[in-house]
Amino acid sequence: MAKRILVSGGAGFIGSHLCTKLVQDGNDVICLDNFFTGAKKNVEHLIGYTNFEIVRHDVIDPFRAEVDEIYNLACPASPIHYQYDPIQTTKTSVYGALNMLGLAKRVRAKILQASTSEVYGDPEVHPQPEEYWGNVNPIGIRSCYDEGKRCAETLFMDYRRQHNLRIKIVRIFNTYGPKMLAHDGRVVSNFILQALNNQVITIYGDGQQTRSFQYIDDLIEGMVKMMDTEDNFTGPVNMGNPVEFTILELAQKIIKLTNSKSEIVFLPLPHDDPKQRKPDISLAKEKLNWEPTIQLEEGLLKMIEYFTKNHIQ
């Protein structure tokens, strides 16, 4: 049965893929976005569908609609964008969560929070299970995002305890794919652009820090599965690819796949940059029967094709 679904941040990288999936499944979808990092072109292929509408709105202000489900994705996710206006970033995470939770409470909608692996900070436990409380600097340059997302999780759990709201929380690890902003400072898009243009590939630190890279299609499947779970299961649930790579390995793989002449240069590591990041996805396997199926090389080839086809420089 078709549902009426609100996606805040729906014109962003993840949000636009989610809107596409939900529309194609026959749901009525409202895409909410202020277009700070989202873009209309990300959802232009959906304009004209009778079950899709797009609304310019900032989630720090209340929004009213009659909906069955809400996916709360609104927040800049790359360091360049969330550090550009850190106070606004915290407002988006905290006020945005409050306003979406308030809407869910009024209309008794089920609501999912797109949280992040950044809630684990620079982890001292590896890989990171959901039970780990994290190692986060509360006053650093990344805190606006890290602590904003942690506070949003707190609000979701308190609305659950205080108002019996039907909530879901997913913690998203590094995700990549088509429609990523080209110059947002995230490592996969950075390396691909540099390689395609035969520019030097810039690695911060010695390149031995690790990340786990999840293709966007796997994440979208996991989020929809999470929303469809029984009401007594709230999460949080890690969503990421547990196959771990060093940043140096990623750069070398991208150079090979693009036949690039790029050389690698090493620059100082940014403050509070995590040394390792890898999800424990045991809970997602158990509760959602979910795990990533698209491995790094396959996903990178799709993203390289997208950047090449769209002449992204």
For 15-67, how does the pLDDT look when each residue is reduced to its tens digit (9 = 90+)?
Answer: 999 999 999 999 999 999 999 888 999 999 999 999 999 999 999 999 999 99
> Which string of DSSP letters, residue by residue, matches 251-296?
HHHHHHHHT----EEEEPPPTT--S---B--HHHHHHH-----S-H
pLDDT, tens only, 251-268: 999 999 999 999 999 988
Catalytic residue among 145, 159, 176, 215, which?
145
**Which residue, chain included where needed, has tokens 């693009």?**
258
* Mean pLDDT computed over 129-154: 94
Q: Is residue 311 pLDDT above 70, yes or no?
A: no
Residue type, 57: H
Inform me whether the pLDDT recorded for 88 exceeds 80.
yes
The answer to whether position 209 is within a domain reads no
262 domain residue, yes or no: no
Q: What is the pTM of this model?
A: 0.93
Tell me how crowded residue 313 is: count the other CB atoms within 10 A of its CB: 9
**How far is the C-alpha of 295 from the C-alpha of 292, rounded, in Å?**
8
Radius of gyration of the chain (CA): 19
Tell me: pLDDT of 82 over 80.
Answer: no
The CA distance from 189 to 307, in Å, is 9
Report if residue 194 sits inside a domain: no
Residue % of the chain over a pLDDT of 90: 80
What are the residues whose beta carbons fall under 8 Å from the beta carbon of 118, sequence distance 6 or more? Answer: 136, 142, 145, 146, 149
Phi, psi (degrees; rounded to nearest 5) at 111: -135, 135
Mean pLDDT along residues 74-94: 83
Number of structural domains, the chain?
Answer: 1
Residue 302 lies in a domain: no
Instruction: Return phi, psi of residue 273, to 5°.
Output: -70, 125
Better-scored residue on pLDDT, 79 or 143: 143
pLDDT of residue 155: 98
Is the four-CA dihedral 202, 206, 208, 210 of positive or negative sign? negative
Whether 62 and 105 have beta carbons less than 8 Å apart is answered as no
Share of the chain above pLDDT 70, in %: 96
How does residue 312 score in pLDDT terms, banded at 50, 70 and 90? low
Q: What is the mean pLDDT of residues 204-232?
A: 94
In angstroms, the CA 75 to CA 58 distance is 10
Q: Is 8 helix (H, G, I), strand (E, B) or coil?
A: strand
CATH for 138: 3.40.50.720
φ and ψ at 35, to 5 degrees?
A: 65, 30
Q: To the nearest whole number, what is the mean pLDDT of the chain?
A: 93
20-24, 64-68, 115-119, 183-187: the lowest-pLDDT one: 183-187
Q: Would 299 be classed as within a structural domain?
A: no
Segment 120-147 mean pLDDT? 92
Look up 215 and say whether it is catalytic. no
Question: Using 50, 70 and 90 to split pLDDT, how confident is the model at 272?
Answer: low
Q: Are 7 and 71 in contact (CB under 8 A)?
A: yes
- Residue 134 pLDDT grade (very low, low, confident, very high; cuts 50, 70, 90): very high
For residue 65, what is the DSSP state? -
Residue 153 scores a pLDDT above 90: yes
What pLDDT, on the 0 to 100 scale, is given for residue 81?
67
Q: How far apart are CA 258 and CA 178, in angstroms?
A: 16
**pLDDT at residue 181 in the model:** 82
Quote the DSSP letter at residue 197: T
Residue 183 has pLDDT above 80, yes or no: no
> Is 147 domain-assigned?
yes
189 domain-assigned: no
What pLDDT does 76 receive? 80
Instruction: Write the CB contacts of 87 (distance below 8 Å, at least 6 apart in sequence).
Output: 144
Return d(Cα 32, Cα 36) in angstroms, integer.
12
Asked whether residue 249 is domain-assigned, the answer is no
Q: What's the sign of the alpha-carbon dihedral 76, 306, 191, 211? A: positive
Question: How much is the pLDDT for 8?
Answer: 98
Cα–Cα distance between 260 and 92 in angstroms, integer?
A: 39
- Which structural domain range is residue 116 located in? 4-177+214-242+278-293
Lowest-pLDDT range of 64-68, 83-87, 109-113, 242-246? 83-87
Contacts of 27 (CB under 8 A, 6+ apart): 2, 3, 4, 5, 51
pLDDT bin (cut points 50, 70, 90) of residue 84 is confident
In Å, what is the CA distance from 155 to each residue of 26, 86, 150? 31, 20, 9
Lowest mean pLDDT among 80-89, 191-200, 295-304: 80-89
Q: What is the mean pLDDT of residues 89-112?
A: 97
Is 90 exceeded by the pLDDT of residue 230? yes
